[in-house]
A and B are shown apart, each in its own frame.
Chain A
């Protein structure tokens, strides 16, 4: 049995007991299959939900969470109130939990699991005293040490901590010593936080849950204002902002925006958030909103009126961000050449707010002007029925989309070998070659046609239409 609820414990069952024994003891026992993966993902979900309490949350083992509350409890009016709010919310969400606040992660871990009460808060620096009476299991020791210490008559943390350190390390390994030091605060511990702890975090909690869209918007505006003021004071701008709406029912809705250039103008950022806020479902109400800034870059005081160039660049960046926020960032781009012979791969997309000096300008590196390229390139080449006098020549007549066209003039061929080496599944073959022709019909319409493969006697060449010149 991987877990037992309170009623089960009252009936004398415990975690790790055999199911057959348990059923013999409690015939009416109801069981469910253990799903460790579902448990783990639920724990991660809970970790994300706890972001309202701290920007830094780390899942721990199968059933624990670390929250970094350093300096973050002030909005609640102190750590005691913070702890109370945390546990109240968890129990309301149907998660029975114990929690402890201490100087070190190790001490908090020990007290939350082996302490006398459900909620424990110890004074700064008091962890040594608080840990002394706890069993050695509270130290998160390696299994060998955990089994070995009691055999020596050492059952409490206090007894272990009085042992000579050198002997302890020799007997039970350096990690035993490290765990002890981490609990007492003489060694540092790195926690795998879900988000890196960031000072660029703002939070608003509401006594009455919000649900009107304009209220949500105002909340985000207030948060942006506060955060941007701090960014300005430090001469910083950020390129990623995330706001999370924590609903009363425990769900949370993250909304992210990105900017091409570092920004800290609350009005502009709110405009980027605005279209995304419309789809936030407030449910029965949102009772906390958080805002985090990420990807910080130095951003000097703007000299908008003096520097016309920067001004125009900023305006363009603002446009790109605005369109990207509304349509999706991948839907706004600049095209840049890519080293490839195949027309489909000759273009790569770059962020549109990249500095203008590079690929954006007509003077930047471009595609070979000597090779004619169509205005419209069909997403996939469309087969056409074509008749050529000589197989090696451009067609005389072809039919595309039900219309027969007589070729009046033609240019080509431009031979392009497909890059079979990029496609692992493809077998290099002679006919992986395309001969492209630019042809003009009687009306003057221009098409980009290619013949698939080299001409070989006895085979009908296949023709495709790939683009329109216009």
Chain B
């Protein structure tokens, strides 16, 4: 018999306690990672320090991490909106693709429009594209009782194939020697960089949208209804909350936010549409949303953490020749320990008394 047992807490842990749990989980996962480095023959202390230097240790590294965190943050913000209602939108990847497609369509069709007109139009189209890709599974769920996890996941593949179809076909740059890419966007269609940094103005979009989502859930009636319905669907229906309409709403919002990320990636970072724009931000977003327990500010922190991890692993490869798969391993360990640590916010261990 175990010398202890698990007891439910009367009250879930408060902010300080939760913070301590997450922090310890992170430390545990990093210790485990260091141990793996050691097993692989890399000096673990040096390895971990290279990892952090590479991710956050210099101005360049920090900028790179923030830059990479931007699309992850927006996708994650999107899935978090749906997760609040316990609607499992796994389709941020596809919604991201549709956003990029929508924005590209405007950018290629009206390249000469002035910037203050073109960029908003691209954003609107990106949100429409992403939102539409969220709307379809929501309607299918309502009308045909399909499972949104499966439908959103499968629609990712459809979206990627649609993107391929466009860049290999009608949108292909005639001067690209047959390589799959659209022409470069015009100057007006590109979101610029902030001052002398390499970070683009997408960071400002993130801050504003994060704030909007926070306000939406904190202060609006619909936001409250979503949270309440998410906590208990049957009670919400009984209270007369329009659950089905809320499902549609969160899926569209969720898709629109991922679509916005697609717009930023196409406009600010790649400056065109090409298949390699899809690097799995939509899936990373799910990890980030869970790590952050769906809170917008925490999503920001978690996004920078995971983005930094990806950036730092490159330095680890370059300086110490650690295999690239190591990044994925650390990411998995962090998610595992943090989720496992979640046990402690609602439960505690009690020592058995000796009889």
A associates with B:
no
